[in-house]
Amino acid sequence: MTAVSRQFASPLARRLAAEKGLDLALVAGSGPHGRIVKADVLAAKPGAKPGAKAVAVIPAGGIEAIPNTTLRKTIARRLTESKQTIPHFYLSVDLDLDQLLDLREKLNQRAEGFKLSVNDFIIKASAKALRAIPAANASWTDEATLRYSDVDISVAVAAPGGLVTPIIRRADTKTLAQISLEMKALAEKARAGKLMPEDYQGGGFTISNLGMYGIKSFSAIINPPQACILAVGVGEKRPVVRDGTLAIATLCTVTLSVDHRAVDGVVGAELMAAFKKAIEDPLGLLL
């Protein structure tokens, strides 16, 4: 026995459909919960035959069809594959940024030709943490878990065609000043659409920072074949308890998305602990 689906429509829409000889099963409803309303019937083509493709209702303002670029298609394919095939798990911590911000201000007063950003410190701290916890600097394959000898950090950058991830190679060996200058040059190339394949192919770990947009926290999708991506939120003043006393500190929430096939929960937690220590004791990033 074949089940008959009920069409939800307003009385006026039903009457107009009957007058037009229109099968309501062929009409897409734009009302609450898909309810067919008067405008839907008026927009539908009269004389539609059963079995024909349902009529799509176009909003009054119209629709702009933006062709998908090769880059956009690649991004869509890779992220769909990531979310469908990679067992993500997530680890979040709050970072106290006050010492880092104080150090950054002092260093920028001495700097010539560049200014350090918070993201430069995050790149350096991530690289230092990955060097300390090498088991997290890995990728999964069916044959073997690959562990990288170099610490190459991909950094998500918004470009005209979509998100790209230029790479700071061997970031653990570079100074904050070197990272800052290199990142600025890569970001400019990305926005101009001038990145070369060697600028973005590879990398073992990705950082995605949306703090500049006021986002408090988020969970990023892993960029395959990598096993980890760090999502960075905004630094903001929040109440904290220190030695039993209420105080105000600049805190930032970061969330690590992890591929459980390549990196176990304990390893991910060790990485986040090492990263938090590097951020909250930023003098160590100058060594």
Same domain for 262 and 130: yes
Please indicate, yes or no, whether residues 282 and 162 belong to a single structural domain of this protein: yes
Residue 125 belongs to a domain: yes
Q: Are residue 159 and residue 270 in the same domain, yes or no? A: yes
Count CB-CB contacts under 10 A for residue 240: 14
**Residue 15 covered by a domain:** yes
Residues 98 and 58 in one domain: no
Is the residue at 49 inside a domain? Answer: yes
Active site residues: 260
Q: What percent of the chain has pLDDT over 90?
A: 69
Asked if the structure places residue 73 within a domain, the reply is no
As to burial, measured by CB atoms within 10 angstroms (0-12 exposed, 13-18 middle, 19+ buried), residue 115 is exposed
The string of pLDDT tens digits covering residues 88-100 is: 999 999 999 999 9
- Is 59 in the same domain as 151? no
- Identify the CATH number of the domain in which residue 47 sits: 4.10.320.10
**CA angle (92, 95, 100) in 5-degree steps:** 150
**CA 103 to CA 163: how far, in whole Å?**
31
* One domain for residues 262 and 167: yes
In this structure, are 154 and 49 located in the same domain? no
* pLDDT above 60 (res 105): yes
Token pair of 116, please?
């350090």
164 plus 278 within the same structural domain:
yes
Domain count, the chain: 2
| 106 within a domain of the structure (yes/no) | yes
CATH code of the domain covering residue 263:
3.30.559.10
Do 168 and 35 fall into the same domain?
A: no
Lowest mean pLDDT among 38-47, 228-237, 275-284: 38-47
pLDDT at 113 over 90: no
Across the range 122-141, mean pLDDT stands at 98
Give the other-Cβ count within 10 Å of 216's Cβ.
13
Domain encompassing residue 55: 9-65
CA–CA distance, 41 with 45 (Å, rounded to integer): 8
Q: Using one digit for the tens of pLDDT, what is the confidence trace for 18-73?
A: 777 777 777 777 777 677 888 878 877 665 444 444 445 556 667 888 888 888 89
Q: Is residue 142, in this structure, part of any structural domain at all?
A: yes
How many angstroms separate the CA atoms of 277 and 97, rounded? 11
Q: What Å distances lie between residue 173 and 16, 31, 144, 200, CA to CA? A: 73, 59, 27, 19
Is 270 in the same domain as 181?
A: yes
Has residue 81 been placed in a domain?
no
Residues 241 and 154 in one domain: yes
Asked if the model's pLDDT at residue 157 lies above 80, the reply is yes
